[in-house]
Amino acid sequence: MTTIMGILNVTPDSFSDGGRYLDLDAAVMHAEALRDAGAHIVDIGGESTRPGAERVAPETERARVVPAVEALAARGFVVSVDTMNAATAAAAVTAGARIVNDVSGGLADPEMFPAVAESRADVVIGHWRGHSADMYATARYEDVVGEVVAELQERVAAALAAGIAPERIVLDPGIGFGKRGDQNWAVLGGLGRVVALGHRVLVGTSRKGFLRDAMDEPPASDGQTDRGRRDLATAVTSVLAADAGAWGVRVHDVATTRDALAVRARWREAS
């Protein structure tokens, strides 16, 4: 079974749903909707990592994230915290988070891996080359798949050296992070090489701009993306990621991806 991680942004500026779930009651209601739709994990983030986003103070991030983690953990949710800050990760784990999802793979905060090692949490190690404000300045590759694999291996070695057991490690190839359109497609096409590293793999394509390339998506008159089309494209990539061996997918629209994965499962059962 492919694990579905539902996205809960308690931020004012995330690219898809910024500002909708800053209020704790709204955040809890959305998390319940994600779980009802089929999410196995709810990933809570308090700092936007959209292209061009500015950093927020760790204290601000914790004020957004920790109450939501605590409330959901008390309701029996499996909670992940999406953070690049070790102090936020530690506070969230204390509040009940079971997974630390660090898109920077421990590069943004050198204390991240030691902090995770001291906890019982799993860690998602993302492929990353720089903060959102200038992430595309580093989108230069000779062999994007080979370089992503090699750089993830380096981060795994750092995590192991910090005392994190290999079974606690999840790898994320960092779709959209420091990668332009065709580079993202190349990484997805080479996902089997990431899976071959021997750790669980999480793929996050949800509503990201590179999907526009495949759909020939016209600009929206109001400047917003066509969420329905992006969610359908996300579900397709989720199925293809599962076929490539991914352990999990991280999505905004859980129901569409759940249905797509269910159809895939029935197809495979009948084959």
Q: Are 96 and 74 in contact (CB under 8 A)?
A: yes
Q: Are 103 and 177 in contact (CB under 8 A)?
A: yes
Rounded alpha-carbon distances, angstroms, from residue 36 to 30, 74, 202, 258: 10, 17, 21, 11
Q: Which of 3, 9, 99, 78 is nearest to 48 (CA)?
A: 9
**CA 223 remoteness from chain centre:** 24
Residue 250 annotated as catalytic? yes
DSSP H or E segment with residue 29? helix 24-37
Token duo for residue 147: 């370089």
Q: Are 111 and 31 in contact (CB under 8 A)?
A: no
Residue 179 annotated as catalytic? no
Which is the catalytic residue, given 168, 208, 230, 258? 208
**Beta bridge mates, 102:** 125
Which is the catalytic residue, given 179, 200, 230, 250? 250
3-state helix, strand and coil shares in percent for the chain, rounded to the nearest 5: 50, 15, 40
- Supply the residues annotated as catalytic: 208, 250
